[in-house]
Structure 1
Amino acid sequence: MSFVFGCALSLLQVANPVHEIKNPRITIVELPELTIEGAKYPTIVQAGDVLYVNYFIEKNKITRLEQRRLINGAFTPPTLISASKNLMVNWADRPRFALGHDDSSLVTWLESNGHGYGIKYMFSRESGAAYTEAKWLHQDQEGAEHGFVSLVPLKLGGFFAIWLQGGAFGTEDAYQTSLMGLVINADGVLGDEFVLDDRVCDCCDTDAEIFDSGNVVVTFRDRSDDEERDIYYVRGNPLEPDSFSGAKPISLDEWKPNGCPVNGPAIASLGRHTAALTYCNKQWSTPRLQISQSNGGGKKFGLVTILSAKNTIGRADIAYLPEGIPVAAWLHTIEDEVWWVARAVPRKGMAGPREKISKSSSARNSGFISLASTATGVIACYNDGDDIGFSSIEFEQAAADVFDTEVE
C-alpha cells in the first residue's frame, strides 16, 4: 500500500471535525515495505510533510543512534546521531527529536557519565541535516539519573526541554527525582533551568504540548509524600517560568504502586482540544488505561473514559486523525497473546472498537509504541521482533451498532 504524506498539520487544522461521532471505527494496515531491519526502540515525529524516525541499531558491534526521514512513502539514507562508547540504550527511555518553526531541530539521548547517566543534545539549523557538537542538556553532573525528555518547539523559535533529574549519590536527595525545564534559544544556547515539580516518579515518561497562546501543558507521574503516583500536569509559558501553575491531577486515582510502574502519560493536541492518556491501578484487579480530554487549551481536563480495564500492559501513545478524533495505541493481552492495539476516542460519545496493530510480547525489548499524525491518518511505529515495524491507522466510519460496551 502506498502513501502520499501531505502537510499534515495544516490539513488537520482545516479538516471537518467528526470528533463527536459515536463509536468511530478505524482501519489498520501494516506497512512491511517500511520495516527497518535490526533496529529497536523507535520514536516518530511529524514535521510538515516529513516523518522523522530515531532508533538504535548495531553495526560492526557498535551501537548507533540513527535518524531517517520518511518522504513520499520512502526512507532517506540514515543520518548518524551518535555512536559514542558511552551511549546508553534504555528500553523505556528513548531518544527525542523536535523540529522548530525556523528549520532548526533538536535531538536528545542518554549517555553514561561515570557514576550514572545524563542527557546529551545536539542542535541543527538545517532540519537535522547537520548538527552541532554534542553537549550536556543539564547543569547537574552529580545526580545519578537524568532522562525521560520531552521537547516542544516554541512559536518564536527555539525549544522547551523537560526532563527528570535524580539526586546525587550519598545525599539526602539521592532517592528524590525532580521535573526540570529550560528554554533552548533559536541559536541553540541553553537558558536557565527551573523546577516544575520537586518530587515526581523516577522512571515514567513525560510528555508535553504547546498551544497558540504560547502556553505549554507538561504531563508526568507525580509522587506525593505518602507515595501516591498519579498523573499530573503543570501549565505555563516557558519564557515566563513563574507563570507555571502548581501541579494538578489529570486523573485522581490515589494509586500507590510498589515502585515506579514505568508507564507515564501521553498527550496530543489539535487546536485548543487536548487528549491525555493515563495508566493506573488502584482498587482494580488489573491495570487500566484511561483518557481525559480538554477543550480549553489544557487549562483543565474532564472526566476519564476507560479505554482498557483488563489485560492492559500499557506503553501507550496518542495522536489525532485528520477527522479530529484522537487515537490511542497500547500493548494488550488477547487470549494469551500480546498485541499492539488501538482505539479511536471521540470527544463525546462511546469509544470505537479495539483493533489489532501487530503481534508483540510483554518483554521489555518490545519497548513502547510511537504515533505521528499525517494528512491521511496516523502512522504507528513499534518494535516488531528484531526489527522496527510500521502501520497506518485511518478513520473508516462510525460503528453505530457493532461495539460491545465492555472494555477489556
Structure 2
Amino acid sequence: MMNNSSSKTNSPIDSGDRVACSEFLAGQLCHRSAMNDSNRGNPLTASGSIIRAFAILALALATSSVAAAPLSNPTGPDAMAPELAETGSGAVLTWIERFDNGHALRFATFDGERFGEAGEIAHGTGWFANWADTPRLFVTPGGDWVAHWPVKSGESTYAYDVVVSRSTDQGESWSLPAIPHRDETQTEHGFVSYFADREGTPHLVWLDGRHTAIDADEPAAREGHVAGNVAGHGSGAAMTLRTASMVGAAFGPSVELDDRVCDCCQTASALTGNGPVVVYRDRSDDEVRDIHIVRRVDGEWTSPAPVAEDGWVIGGCPVNGPDVAADGVQVAAAWFTMANHIPAVRLALSEDAGETFPVTRRFSEGSALGRVQLARHDDDWLLLWMDEVDGGASLKLARIGRDGETRSVRVLADLGPGRGSGFPRMAVVETPRGDRLLVAWTGSDQHPSGERTTHVRTAAFDLGGGSEGGSDSPPAG
C-alpha cells in the first residue's frame, strides 16, 4: 500500500492490477484510487442516476405490488454514506454531510413510520470521507450507541485512523473521541465492524496497516498481542485484521486475527450461540482473495479458515467485502466473487456457529455487482445486493429459508452501477402494525450547470404485506 514498498504483493495497484480490474463489469471498482473521494470537489463524481422508479417489494410469492409512496428523511444536500443500525424500537440512520471544508457525522432515528430530527455525532476537518469505508453506529445490548468515523493521520492518501465515540443517552451526548489502535503509524486503519460478547461488551474489528509502514520487529508492531492460534501467511508488511474491546470510552489491547488480508474490503462480525465470528476477504501469497472466517471459542480465536473456496485470483482489492448474520448457532455469510471471470453473489449457511458451511447458493451469476448485506426476519435470511441491468443497476432482495431454499427474489429499486450509489443498507424494524424493511443508499442529481449533488435516499417496505413506501424525491431538510 505504501508508495515506498518494493514488494509487488504489498505495493500500490500497478498497471497489471488495473488490467485485472478492467475485467470487472461496468462500475465495479477494484483499484485503490477508486476508494478516495475526500480530496475532490464533490464527494461522489462517478456516474450515478436519480432513482426513477421502485419495483415494489413482495416477500411472499403471492403478494401483489402497489405504488410507492414517498418517505422523506432529514439528510441535507451533499449527504452520502448512509448506514443503518437496528434498535429495539426502530432503527438509526447515520450519514456524512459536507460543510465548508469539513464533514459532519449525523444521525436520525426511525420509528417504523417516519424519521425524527437530525442529530450530530461529530464534525471536523481532515476526515477521509469516501464511498466505501463509511462511518457506522452500533447499538450495544445495554442500549448504548458506539459510532466511528475515519480521520486522516498523515499526508499519504490512505493514512487515516479509526476515531470512536460512545453515547449512553441515545445520541444526546457523546464521549471524547478515542482510537482503538495504538501503533501511531500513518497507515490505513478502517473498514470497521462490531460485535458484542455474551457479557454485552462491544468489540471493534478493523483492517490495520501498521505493518505496511514499519518492520514487524519494531515495538509499535507488537502493540497488543497476537492471537495464539493464528496461522500466518509467511509474509510481513501486509494489511492485517485486528480487534479490541471497548469498556466505557476506553479500549483494551488489540489482538491480531489474521496477518495478511485484502486491503480495502469491508469486514463483518456477529455473535453466535457459541461466541463471536468475524468474516472478511483474505489474501494469499498467490493473490487468492476468498472469504475467510475466524471464531472465538473458549476465549481463544481460531485459525483463519475459508467459508468457501472460490479460488478468485485478483491482483487488486475489489472493494467489495462480505457480510455475516447469526441467530443462535445458525449463521449466514454472503459475499461477491468473480472467480473464473464470472461475477456472482454467494450465500453460505451454517448450523454449527460457523464451524462448517455445508449449504451454499449463488445469485445473479453473470450479472452481480455485489455490495451485499444480510438480515434476519422470522426464520428466514434476507439478502440484499446490487445487480447490473441494462447499463444501470438494480437493488435486489432475496428471502432464503433455513434450508437454503430461495423463497423469493424482488427488485427494490433501480440505481446507478458506479460508486455513486455507495453501499445500500437495510434494517428490519418492528412496528405495532407489522415488521418493515428500511433501506437507504446514496443517490445523485445532475444539474444543468454540470454540478452533481448527492442525497441519501430512503425507502420502507412492509414485510408482512400491505402498503409500502419509498423515496425518490429530494429528501427533507
Q: Which interval holds the TM-score relative to the shorter structure?
A: 0.7 to 0.9
Per the TM alignment, residue 149 of structure 1 is displaced from its structure 2 partner at its CA by 0.3
Q: Residues 84 and 92 of structure 2 are in contact (CA less than 8 Å); yes or no, is this contact kept in structure 1?
A: yes
Structure 1 stretch displaced more, 356-365 or 223-232: 356-365
The amino acid that maps onto 1:273 is Q
Per the TM alignment, residue 197 of structure 1 is displaced from its structure 2 partner at its CA by 0.6
SS of residue in 2 equivalent to 1:199: coil
Q: Return the match for 1:234 from 294, 304, 310.
A: 294
Within the alignment, does 1:48 sit opposite 2:88 as a pair? Answer: yes
The amino acid that maps onto 1:380 is V
Tell me the number of residue pairs that the alignment of Structure 1 and Structure 2 aligns. 370
In 1, the alpha carbon distance for the partners of 2:63 and 2:380 equals: 11
1:200 corresponds in structure 2 to 261
In the TM superposition, 1:244-255 aligns within 5 A as 244-255=301-312
In 2, the alpha carbon distance for the partners of 1:210 and 1:101 equals: 11
In 2, the alpha carbon distance for the partners of 1:365 and 1:100 equals: 31
2:136 corresponds in structure 1 to 96
In the TM superposition, 1:7-406 aligns within 5 A as 32-35=70-73, 36-38=75-77, 39-60=79-100, 62-115=102-155, 116-167=159-210, 171=214, 176-185=238-247, 187-213=248-274, 215-236=275-296, 240=299, 243-283=300-340, 285-321=341-377, 323-348=378-403, 350-375=405-430, 376-385=435-444, 386-395=454-463
1:400 corresponds in structure 2 to none
SS of residue in 2 equivalent to 1:304: strand
In 1, the alpha carbon distance for the partners of 2:144 and 2:195 equals: 12
SS of residue in 2 equivalent to 1:74: coil
Question: C-alpha deviations, 1:51-74, integer Å up to 9, x for none?
Answer: 111101124564211111112422
Per the TM alignment, residue 189 of structure 1 is displaced from its structure 2 partner at its CA by 2.0
After superposition, the Cα gap between the structure-2 partners of 1:377 and 1:326, relative to the gap in structure 1 and judged at 3 Å, is farther
The amino acid that maps onto 1:192 is P
Q: Residues 60 and 408 of structure 2 are in contact (CA less than 8 Å); yes or no, is this contact kept in structure 1?
A: no
Structure 1 stretch displaced more, 115-124 or 347-356: 347-356
SS of residue in 2 equivalent to 1:260: coil
Q: Residues 22 and 348 of structure 1 are in contact (CA less than 8 Å); yes or no, is this contact kept in structure 2?
A: no
1:12 corresponds in structure 2 to none
How many percent of aligned residue pairs carry the same amino acid? 23
SS of residue in 2 equivalent to 1:160: strand
If you compute each CA radius of gyration, which structure gives the higher value, 1 or 2?
2
The amino acid that maps onto 2:258 is D
SS of residue in 2 equivalent to 1:253: coil
In 1, the alpha carbon distance for the partners of 2:68 and 2:335 equals: 26
SS of residue in 1 equivalent to 2:124: coil
Per the TM alignment, residue 331 of structure 1 is displaced from its structure 2 partner at its CA by 1.4
Q: Provide structure 2 residue ranges, at least 5 long, that are not aligned to the other structure.
A: 1-58, 217-235, 445-453, 466-477
Q: Provide structure 1 residue ranges, at least 5 long, that are not aligned to the other structure.
A: 1-20, 398-408
With the length of structure 1 as denominator, give the TM-score of the two structures. Answer: 0.84
In 2, the alpha carbon distance for the partners of 1:93 and 1:32 equals: 28
After superposition, the Cα gap between the structure-2 partners of 1:367 and 1:29, relative to the gap in structure 1 and judged at 3 Å, is farther
In 1, the alpha carbon distance for the partners of 2:283 and 2:67 equals: 39
The amino acid that maps onto 2:197 is L
Q: Residues 71 and 459 of structure 2 are in contact (CA less than 8 Å); yes or no, is this contact kept in structure 1?
A: no
Structure with greater strand share of residues: 1
2:28 corresponds in structure 1 to none
Structure 1 stretch displaced more, 24-33 or 39-48: 24-33
Q: Residues 319 and 378 of structure 1 are in contact (CA less than 8 Å); yes or no, is this contact kept in structure 2?
A: no
Per the TM alignment, residue 25 of structure 1 is displaced from its structure 2 partner at its CA by 7.4
SS of residue in 1 equivalent to 2:170: coil
Question: C-alpha deviations, 1:127-173, integer Å up to 9, x for none?
Answer: 33211111222102214100000111233232111000113565467
Question: C-alpha deviations, 1:99-151, integer Å up to 9, x for none?
Answer: 11223221111000124111000012223321111122210221410000011
1:15 corresponds in structure 2 to none
Question: C-alpha deviations, 1:232-288, integer Å up to 9, x for none?
Answer: 000005x93xx11111111111111121011111111223222110211121x4311
In 1, the alpha carbon distance for the partners of 2:403 and 2:313 equals: 30
Per the TM alignment, residue 325 of structure 1 is displaced from its structure 2 partner at its CA by 1.2
Q: Residues 270 and 324 of structure 1 are in contact (CA less than 8 Å); yes or no, is this contact kept in structure 2?
A: no
The amino acid that maps onto 2:424 is I
